[in-house]
Structure 1
Amino acid sequence: MFYLKKRRKQMIALCLSAALSVGSLTAYAATEYWNDASTKPMVETKTPISDNTNWEQWKAGWDNLKTNYEQVALTPGADFSKLNFGWYSKEKTDKAMVRIADNKEMKNAKEFKGTCTEGTVINGVQYYSNKVTADGFKPNSTYYYQVKLNGEWQQAQEYKTGDPDNFSFMFVGDPQIGSSYKQKNAESNGKKLGNDLAARNDSYNWNVTLNKAMEQHPEIDFLVSPGDQVSVKGNEDAKDLKEQEDQYSGYLSASVLRNLPQAVAIGNHDCSSASYQNHFNNPNPFLEESTPTPAGNGYFYSYGNALFIVINANNYNAADHKALIEKAIKENPNAKWRIVVMHQDIYGSGLDHSDSDGIILRTQLTPIFDANDIDVVLQGHDHSYARTYQLTSDGQAHDEFLEYKQDQGGFNHDNFDERFEKDGVFRAYYKSQNLCYNIADKSQGTVVNPEGVFYLTSNSATGSKFYNLIPEQQDYVAARSQNWRPSYSVINITKDSFTVNTYDVETGEAIDSSYTIVKK
């Protein structure tokens, strides 16, 4: 299904900072592989899904699809009984509206009202951001919902709830629609794809990944992404913002997302514009964040006995993340599982970030996670797969490199990297400071009541961009993989166990052994 094409090296830039420099940190570049949808476009599925698994139909409909900015995004509510809705509209209304029923005919439907606020201007057209929260959902039940768009009720869509005492979610990494823009293939006539053809390619593959994952694991109840839903940052001009919104249209076009809630973090490619917070109606946004990015804030929600805390790691002010984590725990004191989701991987194994900007936050966040008994941290950013041992802080004081922090919460990579490259003494000191962890438990398979935190870094879910693994596997890494193919993880949580399995999208086969944490 997936064919890999060689690609040129591509520079990656962090939000609110310039591109990272070269030197002993290595050049920050994607690999020579990518996922070209045009080489084998048909995808075999047991249940054909209209036009989103046929490449020719996808191409023919792309111009209309990419400008369909009014697609609905479902997100988890503050708890299992709630469901959040977010969508764009061209018309302003006093109250955004959604109705819920237990039948497709929408008989006796209950209406829920929310907000409609000024959103994004795309090609001179003002779009409004609509957000509604519905409640009253019960376990193992089937519901139908309709949104009111520009004064008309849209087609009813199905939403099924699972079992909060035994549920599964899909963890996907960096869809980054449009990230293949520097690639070349026959359809681009030997030239770079550019943003439009890249978004068309990557959106199609995103559909394929979600369709295959749900076919292989229909038990999945919702989706979690550590960020970088799109590639264009949308912070330069109207053209830049329009291309970003085209990519959001491609991302949200996946038919699976009409029925599957998604809880997505802010990645460094999402964080420079307000489009992220206009599309996604996240529960419990942490408005107290002192240095948020334009995309918005971190947030939290509960599902069964699990508390999910999604931090905006593009903000390098760790005090904000500490405050969010403490607030979430205070409001959910009985949650048995505490899970943090963030974009930057502080314990990954990719060449581009895990041994450079990925560890800039390590000294600050590791003690915070320990102090708040965090069980699991789900990460992205490195476009390669890695699973750690159980890790703890070493309990020592470490340099936070405050002189390189920016007032708006970012990190001055220009100055930092220049010194890192030229000053060998500083380079050695920096690396020594980030040896700030202990390996608490190296057991594999099933671990019972372990100490420490488990970190999981996801590979690309679309193949729009892959990174190499760092040449020497770090001592904290239990397993890692880079086979140049999209993958996804299925995480199952019960009252007593947390289990993760990771799969190759094409084959459906596991790329790593299962790992289970049992808490008794």
Structure 2
Amino acid sequence: MNKTISTLLGLLICVACTQKSEETHTHNEDDHHHSHYSSMANIPAHKLIFPSKAPDRIIVSLTEDPNHSFSVNWRTSQEIDTAYVQIAEETHGPDFLLDKDLQQIIAATELIQVENTRDEEPLVNAAYHSAIIKQLKAGTTYVYRVGDGGKNDDTWSEWFQIKTPSTNQNEPFSFIYFGDAQNDVKSMWSRVIRKSYKMMPEVDFMLHAGDLINHSESDREWGEWFYAGSFIHATVPSIMTPGNHEYDKSVDRKKLSSLWRPQFTLPENGPLEELKETCYALDYQNMKLISIDAQSFSNSERSRQAQTKWLDSVLSKNTKKWITLTMHFPIFSTAKGRDNKELRESLKPLIDKYNVDLVLQGHDHTYARGYASNEGLGKTIVQDAGAVYAVSVSGPKMYESQKQDWMVKRGEYVQLFQIITVENSTIHYNSYTTKGEVYDSFSLIKDENGNKKLINNKSEVTMRLKKDYVKEK
């Protein structure tokens, strides 16, 4: 295709997208063409809340085909109603800018208006942009940036690097698992995600087990979450499952945050239209990764039946050696008053039937890890342990737990992140404190016939309980 035809096609696409945007969204003409935030400079968190022409809240996510694609989302003011991604293979210097294969891809744009009256936050008008970059080479490092397509670098992001995974299914990979960030995200969770990245800068992706923030419609809190991860969000792909706090409390947790789908681009292969990008499955190397929308599951019988039937279908067709499920509400909770009986009765039979390996959860604001067959035996080496269940918390909001038979290790009043490395026959799981010391560790070994052996490894930090740090008045 010659440059003239290519340019004409690009212009037609831009016009079509702009017309679609105008048809879909209505907004005040002044809001679109002029910044109305200059008078808001006296708001302490205005840099977290309000967008500008320069891209912010940039985040990359895994797709159903991580070897050959990734998705990217970002935000600007509504002055930018057409946006682009530029991408090329990484080079030793700036010569990628001269590469004839440098691509410019138009993004989908959605104009969003949010006013969080619950927390007395101001009205925010923003443009949310998203694109799925496809037809990439596996095992290749790319550079990309996002912006308005103009020549002014001020309205483009910096260039980020991102590497696609290898097609070698047995090549080791690592990911970081976070429980609830939720509260004081800028001040207290930032050090957790940054410490995890410092310890594993070559990490392949991050997994967030729900309750990323506290109030679903709070633009300031979402701003804190993106601020805390900063460039890490733009270079390390994420997947996330929603928690109860990603659902709007004002309507009894029945409505997903209005910013969830504009901010993230996740697989849309769930069983119901309303479960797109919250309940989904994807393959990463030799692992099947599945997100269950636990809040929706508890909201309605329709969702419960649909997700259970869908999970059965996905697992029955699985060809990957390892299976990891993530959901917000735990199958086995850390406190008896927080039991999720319907979730357990629906999903545990499938977890057992299909020999699921890891179930990674949040919600309880404590730590616990174990397996259903543990029965308090405390063995170092366990044959046929079944699925390993973990509940973790990465933010500063802390509850208390109760010792239960399924637990091998538990903890309270400790912020944690988990680095999980998957090899051909072994999963290495290490839970770290914010000081980078091992709180819990195990290795899960699987032979060619699917038989599993679990080895509990030594920890560097003894069990922490909240009562030892916070005395009752």
TM score, norm. by length of structure 2: 0.70
Change (3 A) 1:440 1:369: farther
Greater relative CO, 1 or 2 (CA 8 Å, sep 6+): 1
Aligned with 1:509 (options 437, 452, 470): 437
Query: In structure 1, what is the Cα distance between the partners aligned to 2:380 and 2:88?
Result: 43
Structure 2 counterpart of 1:128: 127
1:264 corresponds to 2:257:
no
* Deviation, structure 1 residue 486: 1.2
Structure 2 counterpart of 1:385: 367
* Deviation, structure 1 residue 469: 1.3
Query: In structure 1, what is the Cα distance between the partners aligned to 2:236 and 2:246?
Result: 21
Structure 2 counterpart of 1:347: 332
1:466 corresponds to 2:466:
no
Aligned with 1:362 (options 322, 344, 365): 344
- RMSD over aligned CA atoms reads 2.9
Query: In structure 2, what is the Cα distance between the partners aligned to 1:468 and 1:128?
Result: 41
Query: In structure 1, what is the Cα distance between the partners aligned to 2:310 and 2:75?
Result: 28
Q: Deviations over 1:108-130 (max 9, x none)?
A: 32233442234343544432332
Aligned with 2:220 (options 223, 246, 258): 246
Amino acid at match of 1:366: K
Q: Bigger shift: 266-275 or 438-447?
A: 438-447
Structure 2 counterpart of 1:274: 258
CA contact (8 A) 1:446 1:517 kept: no
Amino acid at match of 1:143: Y
Amino acid at match of 1:115: A
Query: In structure 2, what is the Cα distance between the partners aligned to 1:283 and 1:259?
Result: 19
1:85 corresponds to 2:88:
no
Q: Bigger shift: 497-506 or 99-108?
A: 99-108
Superposition pairs for residues 76-475 of structure 1, below 5 Å? 76-81=62-67, 82-91=69-78, 96-103=83-90, 105=94, 106-107=96-97, 108=99, 109-122=102-115, 123-138=122-137, 140-149=139-148, 152-161=155-164, 165-176=171-182, 179=183, 198=184, 202-234=185-217, 244-253=218-227, 254-255=229-230, 256-272=232-248, 273-286=257-270, 288-289=271-272, 292=275, 297-315=278-296, 316=298, 317-329=303-315, 333-349=318-334, 351=335, 355-389=337-371, 391=372, 450=384, 452-459=386-393, 461-463=394-396, 465-470=397-402, 473-475=403-405
1:491 corresponds to 2:420:
yes
Q: Deviations over 1:25-66 (max 9, x none)?
A: xxxxxxxxxxxxxxxxxxxxxxxxxxxxxxxxxxx9954234
Query: In structure 2, what is the Cα distance between the partners aligned to 1:329 and 1:360?
Result: 20
Amino acid at match of 1:510: V
CA contact (8 A) 2:50 2:124 kept: no
Change (3 A) 1:150 1:229: farther
1:476 corresponds to 2:450:
no
Q: Deviations over 1:464-503 (max 9, x none)?
A: x011112xx1111122122x23111111111222221111
Change (3 A) 1:119 1:311: farther
Amino acid at match of 1:271: Y
Q: Deviations over 1:74-122 (max 9, x none)?
A: 1112122221112233338786532221236442322334422343435
Query: In structure 1, what is the Cα distance between the partners aligned to 2:215 and 2:351?
Result: 31
Change (3 A) 1:291 1:278: closer
* Deviation, structure 1 residue 207: 2.2
Amino acid at match of 2:292: I
Amino acid at match of 1:168: S
Q: Equivalent pairs: percent with the same residue?
A: 24
Amino acid at match of 1:126: N
* Deviation, structure 1 residue 517: 3.4
Query: In structure 2, what is the Cα distance between the partners aligned to 1:274 and 1:66?
Result: 15
**What's the secondary structure of 2:219's corresponding residue?**
helix
TM score, norm. by length of structure 1: 0.64
Amino acid at match of 1:220: V
Query: In structure 2, what is the Cα distance between the partners aligned to 1:299 and 1:92?
Result: 33
Query: In structure 2, what is the Cα distance between the partners aligned to 1:310 and 1:96?
Result: 30
CA contact (8 A) 1:84 1:131 kept: yes
Q: Deviations over 1:345-400 (max 9, x none)?
A: 12132x3xx543433421122113233432221110011111112x3xxxxxxxxx
Query: In structure 1, what is the Cα distance between the partners aligned to 2:269 and 2:262?
Result: 13
Query: In structure 1, what is the Cα distance between the partners aligned to 2:310 and 2:327?
Result: 13
Query: In structure 1, what is the Cα distance between the partners aligned to 2:416 and 2:214?
Result: 19
CA contact (8 A) 1:116 1:129 kept: yes
CA contact (8 A) 2:267 2:277 kept: no
* Deviation, structure 1 residue 145: 0.9
Query: In structure 2, what is the Cα distance between the partners aligned to 1:326 and 1:130?
Result: 34
Amino acid at match of 1:333: N
CA contact (8 A) 1:223 1:260 kept: yes
* Deviation, structure 1 residue 142: 2.6
Change (3 A) 1:247 1:364: same
CA contact (8 A) 1:340 1:377 kept: yes
**What's the secondary structure of 1:220's corresponding residue?**
coil
Superposition pairs for residues 8-23 of structure 1, below 5 Å? none
Structure 2 unaligned segments of length 5 or more: list them.
1-42, 116-121, 249-256, 449-473
| Residue correspondences, number | 368
Q: Bigger shift: 358-367 or 270-279?
A: 358-367
Q: Deviations over 1:193-218 (max 9, x none)?
A: xxxxx4xxx31332211221122223
Query: In structure 1, what is the Cα distance between the partners aligned to 2:433 and 2:163?
Result: 26
Structure 1 unaligned segments of length 5 or more: list them.
1-59, 180-197, 235-243, 392-437
Query: In structure 2, what is the Cα distance between the partners aligned to 1:110 and 1:290?
Result: 32
Query: In structure 1, what is the Cα distance between the partners aligned to 2:274 and 2:262?
Result: 19
CA contact (8 A) 1:112 1:133 kept: no
Amino acid at match of 2:114: V
Query: In structure 2, what is the Cα distance between the partners aligned to 1:208 and 1:169?
Result: 18
Query: In structure 2, what is the Cα distance between the partners aligned to 1:519 and 1:112?
Result: 44
